[in-house]
Amino acid sequence: MSTVTAPPPPPVRLCVGVTGHRLNNAALSANQADVRAACTDLLARLDALTTAVIDARWRASRGAPRLYSMLADGADQFCADAAKALNWEIVAPLPFGLALSAATAAPADGEEAIALLAHAHARADGAPAALSQDAADRFFAYAERARIFALADRDALIEELYTRRARGDAQAAAAFDAEASHRYTLASRIVIEQSDVVLAIWDGASRTQFGGTGHTIATALENGVPVIWMRPEAPQAWRVLRSPEDLTAPLPAGAAEQDAALGEIVRAALAPLASQNTDDHGFPAFLQERWKPKSGRFWHGYRRIEAVFGGGGAPLKSLRQTYATPAEIADGPWRDFLGRIAALPGLPQDFVGDLKRKVAERFAWSDGISTYLSDAYRGGMILNFALSALAAIGGLTYMPFFSYDQKWQFALFELTLLCAIVFITVLGGRRRWHGRWFEMRRVAEYLRHNPILLAIGVARPAGRWPRGVETSWPEAYARQTLRDVGLPPVTVTQDYLRSALAQVLRPHIVAQRDYHVEKAKRLHHVHEGLDRLSTALFICAIVVVAGYLILNAAGAIAPNLDMLTSRSISQFTYFGVILPLLGATIAGVRYFGDFERFSAISQVAAEKLGAIAGRIDTLMAEGDAAIDYDAVARLAHNADDVVVSEIESWQAVFGGKHLTIPV
């Protein structure tokens, strides 16, 4: 069998979003040259900082930074020019389809607006344009060198409102403004979710217009994404905002403070993967893990308890697992999953290939390693409990059945088991079974469902990712893996959204719900079974001790019974000790496994996922009019929140339970 190695790490890239005024803003129009120069200088400084963080010493490659921009005339295009000069990738989350986005890239009224829309459709369809429209043509020039993710699911309605507004329909104008504002809000949210930092070119006048620059700044800050605020009238005096309250903070004193703020942003985004940790800790250790093709029989104790007490039947069945390698996963466990994503209308197959290579293979690696480590850590602790009980029982067994001269054999047996406990504990500590399991499991769970989010264009904002107490590289690894794939180059239509709901999101949520329902039931049975067994052993101990006391009292009354009591005292002592010992051991296993709490966590997750599945069914039953990008993205976010919440709850239970000697 060929050696299985870790998939190459994702390139580490900085992602910068841009939001800002259009050229019809007086301050921007009056200071175009200065704003352009400031944007060029700022992006160049960010580019240089990424190179400084990811230099030749680090074990991660540098990916080309990305600019996320809606390509509107003004600030968006200024930054796109600067990004192009630096060979950055440009990604455009558009609020509408390509033609409508081009038509609304610059303000227009009356017949000019109608002609602009017709011109934009002609350009989008590749037909020769009847006339020149500078604003639309500029937009298409930028779009040709960008990856386009266009929200076109309501274009038919919005184009009708656009045309009626152009012909003087005041009611249609109000409806168009509301719809357009909502679509810009959605596109701005995508920019925020994909970015490590947002560059905002804003005069500070208003934060209340949905989808406007001020509103986008507030949304970014609320989601923990830092904002570089550049005023058009003084573009070189920009400052970094980290919370909504920072909007009232004074300007920085100069370039030194600006450099420090930029350095902090870049290090926070890139350093967790770029940092040179020791070989047995952190990200480098992840890449150097040794692949185990199958689970180790020696470490099946925890899963054996689940099999025996979980109520699923076949308690003695083989528990040996064979792990799907990164090369096998796309044609094995993930075949149907990726196939459903590939069937989404209009989704490029190259994007599905990226999901396979960049997400599925990294998931398979982290899932296989973490499953093995889970067995080693939890199975090792269960083995320690079992060996501890056996050591005590072995040390006492000579009493009722053998002579004192043979005690040394039982003492040797006890010593051997005690040494084995110490060996397992030291081995688990040195090899960091607990820590490595936590790290690998976090990576696997983050990647498990994210192909769905990627296909929908949804991501967890930078400030909303969980944070590990001791390590942060698993979150950084997962995030950079998802950033490596990025937004799909697709036009999102209602057919696309309906297929995403019915073929991808709902089946995944239902499968996860059913898994948690079964897991909650199984773990509840395990908890109850261990509790009953522990209680039964203590009751047996009470019976044994009580029996001895009764015989002892009877011997005082009837001398012929006294001899029987004397002869059986060692047996009574033996069983009076080992029965509560076994009961305490079972109780210790139950405490360590925390089966009841894990059952409750899964029950909560199942209920939440079931509620989301019900909402999807309701949405689909209401027909196409109810299915839009906002609704689908919200459901995807809700499912992601359930997954992350379950991960955090799981870590809270097992976080402090290190492999120890069971005393």
- Whether residue 218 lies inside any domain: the answer is no
pLDDT > 70: percent of the chain: 92
Tens digit of each residue's pLDDT (9 = 90 or more) over 292-310: 999 988 899 999 999 999 8
Candidates 44, 2, 7, 152; CA nearest to 477 is 7
- Whether residue 417 lies inside any domain: the answer is yes
Residue 146: per-residue pLDDT: 95
Is residue 130's pLDDT more than 50?
A: no
CB 528 within 8 A of CB 310: no
Q: Which residue has the higher pLDDT, 546 or 625?
A: 546
Same domain, 26 and 140: yes
Question: Which range among 18-27, 102-111, 192-201 has the greatest average pLDDT?
Answer: 192-201
- Per-residue tokens: 229: 């605020």
- Whole-Å CA distances, 625 to 88, 119, 150, 380, 498: 38, 28, 19, 55, 11
Mean local confidence (pLDDT), 119-145: 74
Same domain, 268 and 386: no
Domain termination residue (choose one: 240, 274, 308): 274
Is residue 16's pLDDT more than 80?
A: yes
Q: What is the mean pLDDT of the chain?
A: 87
- Whether residue 238 lies inside any domain: the answer is no
- DSSP, res 333: T
Question: Which residues of 414-502 form beta strands (DSSP E)?
Answer: 491-492
- Model confidence at 131, pLDDT cuts 50, 70, 90, reads very low
Range from 2-6, 247-251, 267-271, 340-344 carrying the lowest mean pLDDT? 247-251
- Whether residue 596 lies inside any domain: the answer is yes
Is residue 278's pLDDT more than 60?
A: no
Is residue 221's pLDDT more than 90?
A: yes
Same domain, 266 and 341: no
Is residue 82's pLDDT more than 90?
A: yes
A 10 A CB-CB count for 536 gives 14
Same domain, 414 and 496: yes
Is residue 344's pLDDT more than 50?
A: yes
CB 360 within 8 A of CB 451: yes
Is residue 443's pLDDT more than 70?
A: yes
Residue 563: per-residue pLDDT: 59
Candidates 654, 637, 655, 645; CA nearest to 606 is 645
Candidates 293, 304, 290; CA nearest to 379 is 304
Same domain, 613 and 511: yes
Is residue 336's pLDDT more than 70?
A: yes
Residue 515: per-residue pLDDT: 94
Candidates 576, 580, 663, 585; CA nearest to 399 is 576
Same domain, 263 and 384: no
Tens digit of each residue's pLDDT (9 = 90 or more) over 416-440: 999 999 999 999 988 888 888 888 9
- Per-residue tokens: 220: 């970014």
- Whether residue 567 lies inside any domain: the answer is yes
- Whether residue 237 lies inside any domain: the answer is no
Instruction: Please tell me the distance from the alpha carbon of residue 457 to that of residue 487, in angstroms, as a whole number.
Output: 6
Candidates 190, 192, 640, 612; CA nearest to 453 is 640
Tens digit of each residue's pLDDT (9 = 90 or more) over 530-578: 999 999 999 999 998 898 888 777 766 766 666 556 667 778 888 888 9
Instruction: Please tell me the distance from the alpha carbon of residue 100 to that of residue 155, in angstroms, as a whole number.
Output: 7
Same domain, 377 and 263: no
Q: What is the pTM of this model?
A: 0.90
A 10 A CB-CB count for 493 gives 20
Same domain, 260 and 330: no
- Whether residue 223 lies inside any domain: the answer is no
Number of residues written out for the chain: 663
Domain termination residue (choose one: 242, 274, 306): 274
Is residue 132's pLDDT more than 80?
A: no
Question: Which range among 4-13, 207-216, 506-515, 558-567 has the greatest average pLDDT?
Answer: 506-515
Same domain, 509 and 576: yes
Residue 153: per-residue pLDDT: 93
Same domain, 270 and 309: no
Same domain, 308 and 270: no
- Whether residue 611 lies inside any domain: the answer is yes
Number of structural domains in the chain = 2
Q: Which residue has the higher pLDDT, 119 or 201?
A: 201
Is residue 252's pLDDT more than 70?
A: no
Domain extent, residue 328, equals: 297-654
Alpha carbon 541 to chain centroid distance? Answer: 48
Same domain, 260 and 325: no
Instruction: Please tell me the distance from the alpha carbon of residue 102 to that of residue 117, in angstroms, as a whole number.
Output: 8
Range from 241-250, 315-324, 378-387, 531-540 carrying the lowest mean pLDDT? 241-250
pLDDT > 90: percent of the chain: 55
Is residue 466's pLDDT more than 70?
A: yes
Instruction: Please tell me the distance from the alpha carbon of residue 500 to that of residue 57, in angstroms, as a whole number.
Output: 42
Is residue 194's pLDDT more than 90?
A: yes
Range from 231-245, 491-505, 515-529, 561-575 carrying the lowest mean pLDDT? 561-575
